[in-house]
Amino acid sequence: MSDGDGSARSEVQRLLRADLRGRTAYGAPQLDVAVRLNTNENSYPVPQVVVDAILAALADEMAGLNRYPDREFTDLRKALTTYLEKQSGVSLTPEQVWAGNGSNEVLSHIVQAFGGHGRVALGFTPSYSMHPIISETLGTTWVDGMRGSETFDLTAESAAAQARAHEPSIVFLCSPNNPTGTALPFEVIGAVLEAAPDAIVVVDEAYAEFARPGTRSALTLLGDHPRLVVTRTMSKAFAFAGGRLGYLVASAELVDALRLVRLPYHLSIPTQIIARVALEHADVMLATVEVIKQQRDRIVAELARLGATPVASDSNFVLFGGLADEKATWQALLDAGVLVRDVGIPHHLRVTAGDPGETTAFLEAMARLAPTHVVPTPVADPAPEGPAEQESAS
């Protein structure tokens, strides 16, 4: 780099907001390897019947690109409502649904509307790394709440105590949690709502479709809690990461407040069409969910057999520990053509459940590495029949 480039960088850093200087942008490695299991994508391509339907729908609308899109994305909201009612059994209205270009955009709308200078957002580490990034870059003070140090559990008592202590304006909960993969004990949601009476409580359910049978959704609580928000995405179970469509469900009054901060016409005509057609073919798009869950459970069982300590998962990925040096294991797997995720937890890595061939490649590589990379620890059965007993939230 020339001195001129260095001077320009220094000048830019001087002018940058002080709280952003020295920060690193979010990003997972995008490397050209045979097996990519680091970003929790669905490994299966969009079915051809859905591709054909999308292309036909786009062809009908392309001549109208000279006009702005429907800024209320009316048809898409109706399609999301239909899907959610069928998937969850909860009765909703389109006015309760909001969407954006990926769930990160709807999360940013929440922080823009209810966070800001002098306000606090609380999350429970380890969890989704974009929650603090969105909060802090939008001027909201972030507080790292803590989980159990060994098992990453979050109890209702602990979550409520931390919420009372920090008096947040926004609380982020994840169920299933990323990167641990575990579903949230249901009573935690009610405890946090009660302990933080001045907070918007966000339950991030990005991986809800992968949860084990019996796992309850926070959607069932919306009718009694106007401060509750449930966020979801089409990037995971719908095999639609490139489509960039995330959404939330809340009271109609809360959704109406988000109009104050969204950019005009933020969802393009193609985005609305593609997402709507995918939702109309939900049964086809979600046909791979069960086989992905089978591969997830296969990973849990096989890693435990190799002496690692996988966390029982309700998502499409598995966090596993028991590694002597997680960075060395990450590199050794990459050298074997398998890309997984280093999530910054000592002695742990995270792997996405891919198709059977990808899962086999990962497990075979781990079997070769286990004698030198895994430090065996006696553990209980990591893959119980179903989720732990969950109580109703208040």
What is the average pLDDT across 170-193? 96
Distance CA 15, CA 10 (A): 9
Q: d(Cα 70, Cα 89) in Å, to the nearest integer?
A: 28
Q: Rounded CA gap, 182 and 256, in Å? A: 32
Q: Could you name the CATH architecture of 48-285?
A: 3-Layer(aba) Sandwich (3.40)
* pTM to 2 decimal places: 0.90
Would you say residue 35 has pLDDT above 70? yes
Give me the percent of the chain exceeding a pLDDT of 90.
86
Give the pLDDT score at 5: 64
Give residue 3's pLDDT: 53
Residue 384 pLDDT class (50, 70, 90 cuts):
very low
Q: For residue 201, how many other CB atoms are within 10 A of its CB? A: 24
User: How far is the C-alpha of 240 from the C-alpha of 281, rounded, in Å?
Assistant: 12
Residues 6+ apart with CB under 8 A from 352: 37, 38, 39, 40, 41, 43, 316, 317, 340, 341
pLDDT of residue 383 exceeding 50, the answer is no
Does the pLDDT of residue 389 top 60, yes or no?
no
Least confident piece of the model among 169-178, 296-305, 328-337, 373-382: 373-382
Predicted local confidence at residue 200, as pLDDT: 98
Supply the pLDDT for residue 394. Answer: 27
More confident residue, 149 or 116: 116
Q: Above 90 in pLDDT, residue 289?
A: yes
Q: What are phi and psi of 118, to 5 degrees?
A: 85, 0
Nearest Cα neighbor of 334 from 366, 382, 289 is 366
- Give mean pLDDT, residues 359-380: 87
The predicted-structure confidence for 9-19, as pLDDT tens digits, reads as follows 788 888 999 88
- Among 54-63, 148-157, 173-182, where is mean pLDDT lowest? 148-157
The residue-averaged pLDDT of 324-346 equals 97
Q: What is the pLDDT at residue 386? A: 40
Q: Are strands 200-204 and 246-249 parallel, antiparallel or unpaired?
A: unpaired
Please list, residue by residue across 220-230, b when 16 or more beta carbons sit within 10 angstroms of its beta carbon and e when fewer do.
bbbeebebbbb
Instruction: Tell me if residue 354 falls in helix, strand or coil.
Output: coil
pLDDT of 26 = 77
Check pLDDT > 90 for residue 38: yes
Task: Classify residue 335 by burial, with Cβ atoms within 10 Å: 0-12, 13-18, 19+.
Answer: exposed
Q: Which CATH class is domain 27-44+288-373?
A: alpha beta
Give residue 156's pLDDT: 97
> Which has the closest alpha carbon to 341: 178, 182, 205, 184?
178
Over residues 138-163, the pLDDT tens digits come to 999 999 999 987 779 999 999 999 99
The dihedrals phi and psi of 168, each to the nearest 5 degrees, come to: -75, 160
Average pLDDT of the chain?
92
228: confidence class by pLDDT, cuts 50, 70, 90: very high
Q: For residue range 246-286, list pLDDT tens digits in order.
A: 999 999 999 999 999 999 999 999 999 999 999 999 999 99
Range of lowest pLDDT (106-115, 303-312, 380-389): 380-389
Say if CB 375 and CB 322 are below 8 A apart. Answer: yes
DSSP 119: -
| Fold match between domain 27-44+288-373 and domain 48-285 | no
Domain ranges of the chain: 27-44+288-373, 48-285
283 by DSSP, 3-state: which?
Answer: helix
Locate 218 and state its tokens: 């926070």
